[in-house]
Structure 1
Amino acid sequence: MSAGAFDVIVIGGGPGGYVAAIRAAQLGFKTAVVERDNLGGICLNWGCIPTKALLRSAEVYHLMQNAADFGLSAEKIGFDIEAIVQRSRKVSSRLTGGIGMLMKKHKITVIEGSAALDRGKDAPTVVVGKDRYTAKHVILATGARARTIPQAGLEPDGDKIWTYREAMVPTEMPKSLLVIGSGAIGIEFASFYRTMGAEVTVVEMMDRVLPVEDEEISAFAAKSFKKQGLKLKVSAQVEKLEKTAKTVKVHVKDAKGKVEIVEVEKVIMAVGIAANIENMGLEALGVKIDRGHVVNDGFGRTNVKGLYAIGDVAGPPWLAHKASHEGVVCIEKIAGENVHAFETGNIPGCTYCHPQIASVGLTEAKAKAAGHEIKVGRFPFVGNGKAIALGDDQGLVKTVFDAKTGELLGAHMVGPEVTEMIQGYVVGRQLETTEAELMHTVFPHPTLSEMMHESVLDAYGRALHI
């Protein structure tokens, strides 16, 4: 049966979907969002937000354990894992409830259920249960899920072999665990559990942890992780998981073919994501798919009339802020506004482990590979007064410039609060700033941000404090 007609229907209520819906409503479109689970998507419910709440608890616990370094004393330091998880879930619930209020505020219809697509006039018809909805524009924002290793015996079981979902809500703290994958998700969980006292091993197929980051930043982070007691096994892969009554025996093969057995209580799978493209009728519509993701043209448009795709389902980087901005570009193009095609070069990446990692633009290696003659600047946290006062002076700010034009090609950081600092460089790149403007920008003292200035100066042999 026909259940309603809209200007825009968004399938998926995550950061890409609900933001696209809000912008559509602001532009005067009659809008609906279809969501099969909870508004906010993975990010607010099972990703970005609740993990940061967990990591905040770990950060406070770490500070409590080192109270004497600040002239303070703390006795009987401990934690309640149930209370930590409960706080994380409350933070998540507070935000997802806020999304519901935003939908009401903007008069956006929320349709509960799983959506499928059928052929339609202006755009595919959206089918939810027995109801059929029509729109001039349908936006896929269905997100992604945890990817698993396609090998028998390596499947998550929710008991001893976890995905991010189980890792986020432990009922008790494991004494030992192994994380497969050292991207942002894997390293954040490794950092949390290690800080809370678990013995943690990380297995990475590539030759270094955090392999998408600048090599120098990755090496600095690895050194810090090892100092904290994290065991890192790179150029290695898990061959077999052998479950016993209380543990998992993990068979890890190194680059030379040698197999080592690591016995742990839990295993966390963190080997990437897979887009949610199944069971929606995309194949029947002839939607173009490439390497598991829906192909779009930079404005969200797919090869099917009236159908768009944004966020994780449309490919990397798989980040909430990418999805949100991509959704805004998509809907503003639909509205006929003068917008630029969506590009990924100015999207920052942040990892909230200890120490934090943040970056934007090209790494040093990629800048060279792209043919740039470069100038590279560096400034260590140990030379910054605010970092020393914080008692957290281990870190590095690195900037990469085009030697001929002064263009800021990339910025890479490791250290406390760099996930907040990176936005300065993001704005600089968006405004096509050169080294000259950055050199003449006044940074407040005493702040960690002064290191951003010093790194720029260092690229041109003008650093003041090293």
Structure 2
Amino acid sequence: MSSFDVVVIGSGPGGYVSAIRCAQLGFKTAIIEKYSTLGGTCLNVGCIPSKALLASSHHVEEIAHFADHGIEVNGMKIDLAKMIDRKQAVVDQTCAGVKFLMDKNKIEVFEGVGSFENTTTINITKKDGSVEKIEAKNTIIATGSKPSNLPFIKLDKERIITSTEALKLSEVPKHLIVIGGGVIGLELGQVYLRLGAQVSVVEYADRVIPGMDGALSKELTKVLKKQGMKFYTSHKVQSVEREGDSVKVAAENKKGEIVTLEGDYALVAVGRRPYTQGLNIEKAGVKLTERGQIEVNEHLQTTVSNIYAIGDVVRGAMLAHKAEEEGVLVAEFLAGQKPHIDYNLIPGVVYTWPEVAGVGKTEEQLKTEGKEYKVGSFPFRALGRARASADTDGLVKILADKNTDEILGIHMIGARSADLIAEAVVAMEYRASAEDLARMSHAHPTFAEAIKEAALAATENRAIHV
């Protein structure tokens, strides 16, 4: 029986990054993946394929405005099948890259379902039914999450679908009904909106992306409405029924009225749930929380001292980069180091266009906490670079402590916000004040100037260009 210092179950961003860091630190490491490709949900049916389709469909949107730039394009044709093929090629290349990294770092890869026989013995059940046993001094559970569903919705994965099926449709929907106004629903909704679908979003909360700052939600709703997306916020879905190629979604509004939408596809995007199926964690003595998450302490150690868990399967935001940080933390903790993660500084991003990003406290959170704060905001439309690029939608909003001026949160919507948020994370990691950020030189003309101007606005209302 093979024996390892560390065995990682799951090869998503958290799992494979953790395995690499363990190997770098000198541990004999193995990784177990039940699918034939590495990379988990993120690389195979999540982050990477969705961004590939967003990129392709964004070109369609840009071409529609080429005439404004003096470029005439005639006879544009959308080939969805080729778009899907390109998406898959990107996925295949990315997953192959992970396999290369496993080989480079001498990490042994086992294909099959990993399950605990006891705290140190792991059974790997292969596709042919055979079982291989390995010994693990330490185990890191990184099995991720699966799409959630509402109990009364029957997913047929043909017309009533999850994000997985939405990434490989054979046709552009005539009317796509999206149940859930979060990240996944809005990103995939915008893909098909750009390709010609009518898109309606039904959201239980009173606004979309409810976990982000309210200013971002308001601005994104305005922009997406302008693009043609329809919203039904504060609507509770009552039923989803399929009749042939038609899907009917009934939802109740705040007045108690039932609104019925009819389309040819319904995308159920109501979040994700931790995935622990098949692990047999009870044999190892690992405990779950009431929410189905694996219970861990500050070192991401489970109730069993040599078993750890990271990523979507534990508490906190279900984000690939959060899982990566946790994977590194566990590896370094096992090596006797003292790593840390500031969960307040894990950024959240929505990859619509304009992109949406935020880090730190939202204004709603600060109000709830009774924190005294000040606000600086700056619109993208006031940027020379934004006007030159015809990307004038959006804003940057900075929240700072009223007394100390320390930055408490930075929230933005606009072109390249997914990249710009890194500046915000760096500033907050070093506990910068709004004044600090305001005095740092930003190249002109750039989108990043909006961050400097918002910092100026938070500092005695000193923004220059508004």
- Structure 1 window deviating more from structure 2 (5-14 vs 127-136): it is 127-136
Distance 2:283 2:108 in 1: 27
Aligned to 2:128: none
Greater shift, 69-78 or 200-209, is seen at 69-78
- Structure 2 Cα separation of the partners of residues 319 and 4 of structure 1: 32
Match for residue 333 of structure 1?
333
Match of 1:14 among 6, 12, 15: 12
How far off its partner does 1:297 sit? 1.5
Q: Which of 4, 29, 32 is the equivalent residue of 2:30? A: 32
Superposition pairs of residues 38-437 of structure 1, within 5 angstroms: 38-120=37-119, 124-129=120-125, 130-151=131-152, 154-290=153-289, 291-340=291-340, 342-437=341-436
CA contact (8 A) 1:21 1:108 kept: yes
Q: Which moved more, 1:62-71 or 1:444-453?
A: 62-71
SS at 1:255 equivalent = coil
Write out per-residue CA displacement over residues 132-190 of structure 1, whole angstroms, 9 at most, x where no aligned residue.
Answer: 21121100000001011112xx1211111010111000111111110000110011011
Equivalents in 1 of 2:170, 2:316: separation in Å? 33
Q: TM-score, normalised by structure 1?
A: 0.97
Q: Distance in 2 between matches of 1:184 and 1:310?
A: 21
Q: Is the 8 A contact 1:146 1:163 kept in 2?
A: yes
Q: Deviations over 1:66-87 (max 9, x none)?
A: 1111111100122100011011
- Which aligned runs of 4 or more in structure 1 are off by greater than 6 angstroms? none
Following the alignment from structure 2 to structure 1, what is the Cα–Cα distance between the partners of residues 298 and 95?
A: 29
1:126 and 1:170 map into 2 onto residues whose CA distance is 38
Q: Tell me how far apart the structure 1 counterparts of residues 102 and 245 of structure 2 sit (CA, whole Å).
A: 46
What secondary structure sits across from 1:135 in the alignment? strand
Q: Is the 8 A contact 2:178 2:268 kept in 1?
A: yes
The answer (yes or no) to whether the contact 1:65–1:77 under 8 Å persists in 2 is: no
Residue 126 of structure 1 aligns to a residue in which SS? strand
The Cα of 1:432 is off from its aligned counterpart by 1.5
What displacement does 1:431 show?
A: 1.4
Query: 1:190-235, CA deviations, whole angstroms, 9 ceiling, x for partnerless residues?
Result: 1111111100100000011111111111011111111111110001
CA distance in 1, matches of 2:295, 2:222: 39
Runs of 5+ consecutive residues of structure 1 not aligned to the other structure: none
AA paired with 1:32? A
Q: Distance in 1 between matches of 2:309 and 2:338?
A: 19
Alignment of 1:5 onto 2:3: yes
Give, in whole Å, the separation in 2 of the partners of 1:131 and 1:66.
58
SS at match of 1:293: coil
Please state whether the residue corresponding to 1:39 is helix, strand or coil: coil
Q: Within 2, Cα distance between the matches of 1:245 and 1:288? A: 44
Check the 8 A contact 2:113/2:278 in 1, yes or no.
no
| 1:338 Cα offset (Å) | 2.3
User: Aligned partners of 1:288 and 1:326: how far apart in 2?
Assistant: 19
- The one-letter amino acid of 2:136's match is A
The question of whether the paired residues in 2 share the 8 Å contact of 1:298 and 1:343 is answered with no
Asked whether the equivalents of residues 124 and 133 of structure 2 are also in contact (C-alpha less than 8 Å), the reply is yes
1:269-310 per-residue CA deviation (whole Å, 9 max, x = no partner) reads: 100111111221123333221211112112221111200000
Q: Aligned equivalents of 2:288 and 2:91: distance in 1?
A: 32
SS in 1 for 2:343: coil
Contact 1:177–1:268, Cα closer than 8 Å, also in 2: yes
Aligned residue identity for 1:371: G
In 2: Cα distance, 1:436 partner to 1:336 partner: 38
Q: SS where residue 308 of structure 1 aligns?
A: strand
Please give the alpha-carbon distance, in whole angstroms, between the structure 1 residues aligned to 2:294 and 2:132.
25
Per-residue deviation, residues 318-344 of structure 1 (Å, max 9, x unmatched): 01000011100111011001222x331
CA apart distance, 1:346? 0.4
Determine helix, strand or coil for the equivalent of 1:289: coil
The residue matched to 1:19 in structure 2 has which SS?
Answer: helix
Q: What letter matches 2:408 in structure 1? A: L
SS at match of 1:345: helix
2:435/2:456 contact within 8 Å kept: no
Q: Partners in 1 of 2:219 and 2:447 — Cα distance?
A: 18
Structure 1: distance between partners of 2:57 and 2:430: 36
Moved more, 433-442 or 452-461: 433-442
State how far apart, in whole Å, the 1-side matches of 2:288 and 2:384 are.
Answer: 51
* Stretch deviating more after TM superposition (5-14 or 369-378): 369-378
Q: CA deviation at 1:365?
A: 1.4
Secondary structure of the residue that 2:154 maps to in structure 1?
coil
One-letter identity of the residue aligned with 1:246 = D
1: CA distance, partners of 2:47 / 2:154:
24
Mean Cα deviation higher: 302-311 or 242-251 = 242-251
For 1:246 and 1:33, the matched residues in 2 are separated by 42
Within 2, Cα distance between the matches of 1:99 and 1:285? 29
Report the CA distance between 1:445 and its aligned residue: 0.5
AA aligned opposite 2:281:
L
